Amino acid sequence: MNATLLAVVLSLFSAVAYAAAAVAQERLASRTPGNGVLRLLGSAAWWSTVGLNATGALLHVVALKYGPLTVVQPLGALTLVAAVPLGARVAGRRVSAVEWRGTALTLLGLAAILVTASGHAPDDVLSVSEAVAVAGVTSVLIAVLGRPGRRRGLRHATASGVASGVASALTQTVTVAATDRSGSLLSMQVIGVALVVAAFAAGGLLLSQSAYQDGLDAPLALVTLSNPVAAALIGLALLGERLQGGAAGVLLALAGAGVAARGVVLLTRAAPATEDDHPVAAVLALEPGTASVEPALVTRPQREAGLMPRQPEPGHLTPL
């Protein structure tokens, strides 16, 4: 099997695992909002989401061995595509037409990006100094996005995507360096970068859990967008990866990115029914406080005290 094709297949399975983890994290956050780190560590349900994320990460690591960042990272957007039907099924509802349209546009845009991004397997990695510089800049950016204030959930989602994207770039460095027979498996490059990857992966997981307290669609969309952007910038700027097709390829990639972004926006704007939309209330169209009280349930002292309106007697007009 072609190396790039193998990377694509592994990325598809990775996206499904990440989507299942995101849906599970969102359900956990909606049931127990405001969880601290210690409470999460003691939750069996949260550790199941960690297992799903670990499975997706393992498949992602193997994909990075065979495919360049510019191919593997855009496929991470399929996590959002897979999470839409999964989330709808868990919530007991149907996928809306807007969600299907957003899914189709996302897939179309990804196809255009993959045509221009498909290239040879990676043969260059970050040096120790480059890895340290990338880690430092990323840490500062995450600290800025994680500060207290408005729209904390959306900022945490962006920070989670950046952390995951940088972790993927650094993971590729570890994977290629560890499997290179010319170097030592316990070299400073492998051990040091592996520790940084672990820190970013854990931080990204906790940030996403915090972001999902605001729901699934918008935070997951921002994670999906910021992840490949961060990784692609590293791949194009530091790893010598290039888009195929010259200027035409760049235009096609930009068009594909625009179409995919439009699809993600549609998925974000799709508003599923909330738990407050009770089906009985929807049928009866009752507003709070507008339902009439059964006269038989009104006691005589209440009526005499004027606490309840007197019902009109037969044969008499109700005074205006």
Write down the number of H helices and E strands in the chain: 13, 0
The most confident of 58-62, 198-202, 287-291, by mean pLDDT: 198-202
pLDDT category at 139 given cuts 50, 70, 90 is: very high
Residue 85 makes CB contacts below 8 A (sequence gap 6+) with 95
Average pLDDT over residues 133-137: 92
| Cα–Cα distance list, 162 to 51, 78, 138, 154, 188 (Å) | 21, 17, 7, 13, 24
pLDDT of residue 297: 47
Q: Would you state the pLDDT for residue 182?
A: 57
**CA neighbor of 227 nearest in space, from 118, 11, 75:** 75
The pLDDT value given to residue 283: 35
* Entry pTM: 0.67
Tens digit of each residue's pLDDT (9 = 90 or more) over 14-39: 999 989 998 988 888 777 655 566 67
Q: Which residue has the higher pLDDT, 46 or 241?
A: 46
What is the mean predicted confidence (pLDDT) over 85-107?
85
Query: Any idea which residue has 């349900």 for tokens?
Result: 45
Q: Which of 170-184, 206-220, 223-237 has the lowest mean pLDDT?
A: 170-184
Considering only residues 207 and 217, tell me which one the structure prediction assigns the higher pLDDT.
207
Residues 193 and 212: their CA atoms lie apart, in Å, by 28
Token representation of residue 295: 């006269």
Give the residue-averaged pLDDT of 71-92: 81
Q: Residue range 79-83: average pLDDT?
A: 84
pLDDT of residue 140: 95
**For residues 95-122, average pLDDT:** 78
CA–CA distances in Å: residue 30 to residues 25, 82, 96, 303, 313: 9, 20, 21, 43, 50
User: pLDDT class for 275, splitting at 50, 70, 90?
Assistant: very low
Find the mean pLDDT for residues 162-175. 82
* Average pLDDT of span 113-142: 78
Could you tell me which residue, 58 or 115, shows the higher pLDDT? 58
User: What pLDDT is recorded for position 266?
Assistant: 83
Neighbour count for residue 9 (Cβ, 10 Å): 15
Average pLDDT of the residues in 118-130? 68
For residue 180, pLDDT over 70 is answered with: no
